[in-house]
Amino acid sequence: MTVTDTVPSGGAAQVVRRRPAWLEQNLLTAAVGAVGGYLFGHWVGNMIAGGYININGASGQNDIAVCLGLGIAVFGWLLGIGALNYPLAKIIGLDPAQEMPRESWTRYLKFSTDHKVVGIQYLFSVFLFLFTAGLLAMAIRSELLSPTSHLFGPGTYIAVVGEHGTMMMMMASSLVVGPLGNYLVPLMIGSRRTAFPRIEATSLWLFTAGYLVILTALPLGGFPTGWTGYAPLQTEAGAGMDAYLAGFAVIGLGMILAGFNLIATIIHYRAPGMTWSRLPIFVWSILATSALLTLATPTLVAAGLFGILDRTAQTAFYVTERGGSSFLWQNLFWFFGHPEVYIMALPGFGIVGEMLPVFTRRPLFGYRVAAAGMFGVALLSFFVWQHHLFQSGINPDMRPLFMLTTELISIPTGFIYLVTLGTLWKAKIRFEVPMLFALGMLFNFLIGGVTGVFLSDVPVNVTVHGSFFVMAHFHYTIMGGLVFAFFGAIYYWTPKITGRMLDRRLGKIHFWTMFLFFNMTFFPLFIVGILGQPRRVFEYAPNLQVWNDVSSIGAFLLGASFLIFVANFVWTIIIEPRKAPDNPWDSYGLEWQTATPVPFYNFERIPVILNDPYHYNEPEAQPVADIVLTGEPRPAAAVSAGPVDPADRGLSEGDGSE
């Protein structure tokens, strides 16, 4: 299907139908679809394989029924929300219904092809993920308050650990690409939409379905493998494992679709004049991330399906004693898993690179190096996965090679520091809340990155592999890096997205508490790791209790710092809105040059891009585009906004309104 297929031909003559409100599909119908789908799938599973016991005898549940239930539940969820209306109508030869977009807030509870609505839906979905998994994290830290007395039984504890890890990984893989990538990329490249709006919306609803599927792991008994799901433990585990495998497969499908849509958008929907060398660095990071999402995630989906087949259809992909190999899962999982790590790092670099020029009032230093570095990281990330398996006995003679690639990847990763240090040089630095988060990200990520080099050294890896040292390392990169950058981005772009301003003082309190307690939580874990505490244990040596307790108290306080953010968000955005200036940070970015809140069609007229968005401190430079609505007046911005050219609009068939 080509893009032009979806553009309505005779716009004026088209009749736009609108269903009565009570017939419209929304979250409620989606929930009905999911529950109905699960019950139906479970029933079918019991019909075709009644009395069947798990191949390896541990779960005592009918895995065929559980897997079919989960699969059909996801299908029912998509059907209920209306994601399948268009393809189904096409299949049976009907003209797909044209839906008027609604202006009401209820559009956020429905299937929408507007990238801005999808972005906000993604935002609330990742918050749901983040806060659910954050509560589980505090449960883990509660258990680890004492080396020997227990809050949970061992089964509950590993179920909580696995659930926390899996949910956080799922969340982090879409944390920036989902909300900010979808919302901002079209605005930053001067487009009115993304390339495949229905695919974009479907990726969101798969993401939310993934949340529900992975949540069912808890009532199904949890899974004992942690987020890495190693076979053969995976094959012998209870029915919660089905939710893990199905959940990752569903999330993976959503990731592939989201990445695919954004790649097509960035390549094909740039406004005239938006050359590759003018592309905002955030868009470069989303492009590199999307390439990883599209190329790495299929391995995860395939590996998950193999696991499901092993557990239901008695195949033996991972069953050693039947000719499979437990190494196969490790290889497939980490072949996805290591690019995944950079899926969770690159968007953070993009956010920091995007905010630095604004808060230093000078151009980004080393723009080309930064963009090239992201692609260097993306490429190399496919060649490092076996460093997770240094002690596994797989290809031990390859360890020097993987040590080399792992250490090489720190060169392009280090470019973010080249860019930062260069941009700070003789700048004019403003300590606004987003800038604080960017600086916090740089502080944390440095610790995360340097400890990664320790892990890449095989002799040191012998001690730290699989210990809390690894755990602290990747929390420093993902939480300290990506999540800090993400919150910076929330403070930075909320005025654009909502037209309202988050409170600055509460924002600063949020930053300082989060920064302090993040380090208080995770720095001690480096110490307990190197002192010999393995990951995912509920009992540890008594001499490690002090550091564990410091970490636990830090974790509770870190949780409290998120409440400051929630209070700030709810109060200043919803309860007592404070109108934001049109361009509160005086950014030259294209996304700030259109009206706030962003109109349905983004730009009244497709802008012609004249410059990159980083020409601060360059008085003779052209403005970013031939529209400049906000910020200080620019001499060359004299072109007035003309009438909307219908041929220019490029709206999908779902967009009948003016």
Other C-beta atoms closer than 10 Å to the C-beta of 657 total 12
Query: Which residues are CB-neighbours of 106 under 8 A, at least 6 positions away?
Result: 26
> Cα(567)–Cα(599) distance, rounded to whole angstroms?
28
Q: Which of residues 574-593 bind another protein (CB under 8 A)?
A: 581, 584, 586
Q: Is 133 helix (H, G, I), strand (E, B) or coil?
A: helix
Please say which residue, 49 or 302, places its beta carbon nearer to another protein. 49
Concatenate the DSSP letters of all residues of 279-292 into one string.
S-HHHHHHHHHHHH
- CB 415 to another protein: min, Å: 8
Q: Which of residues 320-379 bind another protein (CB under 8 A)?
A: 320-321, 326-327, 360-369
> Cα(175)–Cα(630) distance, rounded to whole angstroms?
29
x/- map, 87-126, another protein, by CB under 8 A: ----------------------------------------
543 binds another protein (CB under 8 A): no
444 binds another protein (CB under 8 A): no
Binding-site member from 397, 575, 642, 647 for another protein (CB under 8 A): 397
- CB 627 to another protein: min, Å: 18
Q: Which stretch binds another protein (CB under 8 A): 55-63, 68-76, 265-273, 294-302?
A: 55-63
Cα–Cα distance list, 337 to 89, 158, 298 (Å)? 37, 21, 11
Contact 569, 495 (CB under 8 A): no
136 binds another protein (CB under 8 A): no
Please say which residue, 237 or 256, places its beta carbon nearer to another protein. 237
Q: Which of residues 188-217 bind another protein (CB under 8 A)?
A: none
- CB 625 to another protein: min, Å: 16
Cα–Cα distance list, 158 to 251, 319, 410, 532, 559 (Å)? 22, 23, 33, 19, 21
Binding-site member from 536, 548, 554, 593 for another protein (CB under 8 A): 536
Q: What angle do CA 504, 506, 511 make, to 5 degrees?
A: 90
Buried b / exposed e over 347-368, threshold 16 CB at 10 Å, is bbbbbbbbbbbbbbebbbbbbe
- CB 402 to another protein: min, Å: 11
Q: Which stretch binds another protein (CB under 8 A): 15-23, 54-62, 600-608, 640-648?
A: 54-62
Please say which residue, 158 or 256, places its beta carbon nearer to another protein. 158
| Binding residues with another protein: total (CB under 8 A) | 105
- CB 470 to another protein: min, Å: 10
Residue pointed to by tokens 């974790």 = 555
List, in sequence order, every residue forming a beta bridge with 500; answer none if it has no partner.
Answer: 579
Q: Which stretch binds another protein (CB under 8 A): 70-78, 118-126, 255-263, 319-327?
A: 319-327
Between the two ends of the chain, the Cα-to-Cα distance in Å is: 26
218 binds another protein (CB under 8 A): no
- CB 352 to another protein: min, Å: 12
137 binds another protein (CB under 8 A): no
59 binds another protein (CB under 8 A): no
Other C-beta atoms closer than 10 Å to the C-beta of 73 total 26
Binding-site member from 465, 475, 496, 510 for another protein (CB under 8 A): 465
Which two three-digit tokens encode residue 228?
């890495």
Q: Which of residues 502-531 bind another protein (CB under 8 A)?
A: 530-531
x/- map, 223-252, another protein, by CB under 8 A: -xxx-x-x-xx--xx---------------
155 binds another protein (CB under 8 A): yes
Residue 394, phi then psi, degrees to nearest 5 = -80, 135
Q: Is 68 helix (H, G, I), strand (E, B) or coil?
A: helix
Q: How many angstroms from the chain centroid is the CA of residue 570?
A: 22
x/- map, 401-440, another protein, by CB under 8 A: --xx--xx-xx--x--xx-xxx-xxxxxxxxx------x-
Q: Which of residues 613-652 bind another protein (CB under 8 A)?
A: 614, 616-619, 632
Buried b / exposed e over 475-489, threshold 16 CB at 10 Å, is bbbbbbbbbbbbbbb
Dihedral sign, CA of 193, 570, 516, 529? negative
Please say which residue, 38 or 445, places its beta carbon nearer to another protein. 445
* Amino acid letter for position 486: F
